[in-house]
Chains A and B, each alone.
Chain A
Amino acid sequence: MPSPEAPQTLFEKLWRAHEVRAEEGDAPAILYIDLHLVHEVTSPQGFDVLRARGIPVRQPSRTLATLDHSTPTSPPDASGRLHYVTEQAQLQVETLERNCEAFGIELQGWGSRHRGIVHVMGPEIGATQPGMTVVCGDSHTSTHGAFGALAFGIGTTEVGYVLATQCLLQRKPRTMRIHFDGALGPGVSAKDMALHTIRTIGVDGGTGHVIEYAGEAVRSLDMEGRMTLCNMTIEAGARAGMIAADEVTVEYLRGRERSPDGPAFAAAAERWLTFRSDPGAVFDREVSIDATSIQPTITWGTDPGMSSTLNGVLPAADTAGIERALQYMGLEAGHPLSGHPIDVVFIGSCTNGRIADLRAAAAIMAGRKVAPSVRALVVPGSVAVKNQAESEGLHRVFIEAGAEWREPGCSMCLAMNGDTVPPGKTAVSTSNRNFEGRQGTGARTMLASPSTAAACAIAGKLVDPRHIGDIAGGA
Chain B
Amino acid sequence: MEAFTRLTGAILALPEENIDTDQIIPARFLTATRFEGLGEHVFADWRLDGNGAPSQDCPMNEPRAENSSILVAGRNFGCGSSREHAPYALMDFGFRVVISSEIADIFRNNALNIGLLSIVVPQSLHARLLELDGQEISVDLEACTLSVPGAGGDETFSFPMDGFARHCLLRGMDRLDFLLSYETAIKQHEERL
Contacts and interface: CB of A to CB of B under 8 A. Distances in A.
B41 interface: no
Contact of A41 (B20, B30, B34, B189): B30
B18 A416 contact: no
18 contacts: A25-B163, A30-B185, A42-B82, A44-B34, A88-B31, A88-B32, A153-B82, A153-B106, A157-B113, A161-B179, A164-B179, A204-B75, A234-B106, A303-B18, A324-B16, A416-B27, A433-B80, A437-B22
Contacts of B185: 20-21, 30
Contacts of A153: 82, 106
Interface string B160-175: 0011100100000001
Given A27-B164, A204-B76, A239-B106, 15 more contacts: A28-B164, A41-B83, A70-B31, A137-B82, A154-B109, A155-B82, A155-B106, A156-B110, A171-B162, A204-B104, A207-B104, A208-B105, A237-B79, A415-B27, A435-B20
A158 B18 contact: no
A276 interface: no
A91 B34 CA distance: 12
B84 A161 contact: no
A20 B28 contact: no
Contacts of A164: 176, 179-180
Contacts of A166: 186, 190
B121 to A, nearest CB: 15
A423 interface: yes
Contacts of A324: 16
B92 interface: no
A92 interface: yes
A431 to B, nearest CB: 12
A239 B20 contact: no
Interface in A252-289: none
Interface residues of B, number: 48
Contacts of B23: 435-437
B82 A207 contact: no
Contacts of B28: 415-416
A405 interface: no
Interface of A: 20-21, 25-28, 30, 32, 41-42, 44-45, 48-49, 53, 58-59, 69-70, 86, 88-89, 91-92, 95, 137-139, 153-158, 160-161, 164-167, 169, 171, 173, 203-204, 207-208, 234-235, 237, 239, 303, 320-321, 324, 414-416, 423, 433, 435-438, 441-442
Nearest to A26: B163
A350 to B, nearest CB: 12
A326 to B, nearest CB: 15
A416 B26 CA distance: 9
Contacts of A207: 76, 102, 104-105
Contacts of B113: 155, 157-158
B182 A92 contact: no
A157 B114 contact: yes
B111 to A, nearest CB: 9
B50 interface: yes
Contacts of A41: 30-31, 83
Contacts of A42: 82-84
B76 A435 contact: no
Contact of A167 (B32, B34, B179): B179
A352 B175 CA distance: 36
Contacts of A208: 105
B81 interface: yes
A113 B18 CA distance: 39
B17 interface: yes
B33 interface: yes
Given A139-B82, A416-B28, A433-B22, A169 B16 contact: no
B71 to A, nearest CB: 18
A181 B176 CA distance: 45
B80 A435 contact: yes
B46 to A, nearest CB: 9
A235 B18 CA distance: 11
Given A30-B185, A70-B31, A164-B180, A441 B26 contact: yes
A167 B76 CA distance: 28
Interface in B1-37: 16-18, 20, 22-23, 26-28, 30-35
A289 to B, nearest CB: 22
Given A204-B18, A204-B79, A20 B175 contact: no
Contacts of B189: 20, 32
B163 A155 contact: no
B175 A169 contact: yes
Contacts of B109: 154-155, 158
